[in-house]
């Protein structure tokens, strides 16, 4: 019996953890893997009198894109835009999608094999990605995306708090901990105070946070932009 579900929707990969009644924790498996790539792929099928829009998520999305890269659309790094007011909607094969709807379709696939649980805890960044990020908007859109997937009663928890809880369970005295989160959108560092004792100060308290916009996706982009593209002619002139 699953007592609680913890969901880490990441920029590059997503993971679902299951807390069982006996206190053990397992991860939900997807095709034999613990992680599920945070991507969507869309393609169309022509039928008599109409066009059908198809989609796949995770590893199936990558497979679908590789089978037909010219006539499909691969959507990546959706989490990066949660707190960006400039992103309102996009159109894929003439179909309108808000960001919440896109992420909702992905989350529906991620959680399709999951039964209802008494508690559903969802990770959120201390600060969402972007130079002009609206954290309140990011949290609102994240909740809305889970609602689109059919999960309306979720509790948001700080990602570094969740990352440090396993360590915190070994504590017998309060401790101040530095936590590094090297993700696909940003690399973040948080200082948190963990107190295993009871009372008003029990639990996890965030003390400070900082991050830089260099991580998996951005690092890949900079390699292409600074090292590969110049070899292919970027910055050159010709006549």
Per the CB < 8 A criterion, the answer to whether 122 and 156 are in contact is yes
In a domain, 217, yes or no: no
Instruction: Assess if residue 88 is contained within a domain.
Output: yes
Q: How far apart are CA 135 and CA 126, in angstroms?
A: 9
Residue 175 half-sphere exposure, CB side, CA atoms within 13 Å? 13
219 or 152, which is more confident: 152
| pLDDT for the residue 201 | 57
Indicate if the pLDDT at residue 168 is higher than 90: no
Burial class (CB in 10 A: 0-12, 13-18, 19+), 62: middle
Q: What whole-number percentage of the chain has pLDDT above 70?
A: 97
Does the pLDDT of residue 39 top 90, yes or no?
A: yes
Within a domain: 145: yes
Q: What is the pTM of this model?
A: 0.82
106 inside domain? yes
Instruction: Please report, to the nearest 10 degrees, the dihedral formed by the alpha carbons of residues 142, 129, 190, 104 taken in order.
Output: 20
Full residue range of the structural domain in which residue 125 is found: 2-171
Determine which of 7-16, 45-54, 92-101, 184-193 has the lowest per-residue pLDDT on average.
184-193
Residue 86 lies in a domain: yes
Backbone angles phi, psi at 63, to 5 degrees: -60, -45
pLDDT digits (tens, 9 = 90+) for 68-112: 999 999 999 899 899 999 998 999 999 999 999 999 999 999 998
Per-residue confidence (pLDDT) for residue 200, from 0 to 100? 55
> How many percent of the chain have pLDDT more than 90?
47
Task: Show the tokens assigned to 50.
Answer: 């109409």
| Averaged pLDDT score across all residues of the chain | 88
The residues with which 6 forms a beta bridge, in sequence order, are 17, 121
Are 179 and 159 within 8 A, CB to CB? Answer: no
Q: Which residue has the higher pLDDT, 211 or 93?
A: 93
Pick the residue with more confidence: 146 or 187? 146
**Beta carbons of 67 and 56 less than 8 angstroms apart:** no
Mean pLDDT of 165-171: 81
Residue 182 reports pLDDT greater than 90? no
Q: How far apart are CA 209 and CA 144, in angstroms?
A: 25
pLDDT given at position 107: 96
Work out how many domains the chain is built from and give that number.
1
Six token digits for residue 107:
């989350």
Strand pairing category for 25-27 and 203-212: unpaired
Predicted pLDDT of residue 169? 79
Domain of 30, CATH number, reads 3.30.420.40
């Amino acid at each position: 019996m699953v007592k609680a579900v913890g969901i880490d929707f990441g920029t590059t990969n997503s993971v679902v953890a299951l807390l069982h009644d006996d206190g053990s924790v397992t991860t939900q498996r997807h095709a034999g893997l613990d992680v599920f790539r945070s991507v969507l792929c869309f393609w169309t099928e022509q039928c008599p009198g109409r066009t059908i829009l198809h989609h796949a998520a995770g590893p199936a999305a990558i497979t679908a894109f590789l089978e037909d890269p010219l006539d499909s659309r691969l959507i990546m790094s959706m989490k990066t835009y949660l707190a960006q007011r400039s992103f309102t909607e996009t159109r894929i094969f003439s179909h309108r999608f808000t960001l919440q709807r896109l992420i909702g379709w992905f989350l529906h696939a991620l959680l399709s094999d999951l039964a209802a649980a008494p508690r559903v805890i969802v990770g959120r960044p201390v600060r969402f990605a972007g130079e002009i990020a609206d954290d309140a908007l990011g949290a609102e859109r994240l909740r809305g995306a889970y609602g689109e997937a059919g999960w309306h009663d979720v509790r948001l928890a700080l990602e570094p708090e969740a990352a440090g809880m396993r360590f915190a369970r070994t504590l017998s005295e309060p401790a101040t901990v530095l936590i590094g989160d090297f993700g696909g959108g940003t690399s973040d560092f948080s200082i948190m105070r963990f107190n295993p004792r009871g009372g008003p100060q029990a639990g996890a308290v965030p003390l400070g946070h900082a991050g830089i916009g260099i991580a998996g996706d951005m690092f890949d982009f900079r390699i292409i932009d600074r090292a590969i593209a110049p070899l292919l002619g970027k910055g050159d002139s010709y006549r």
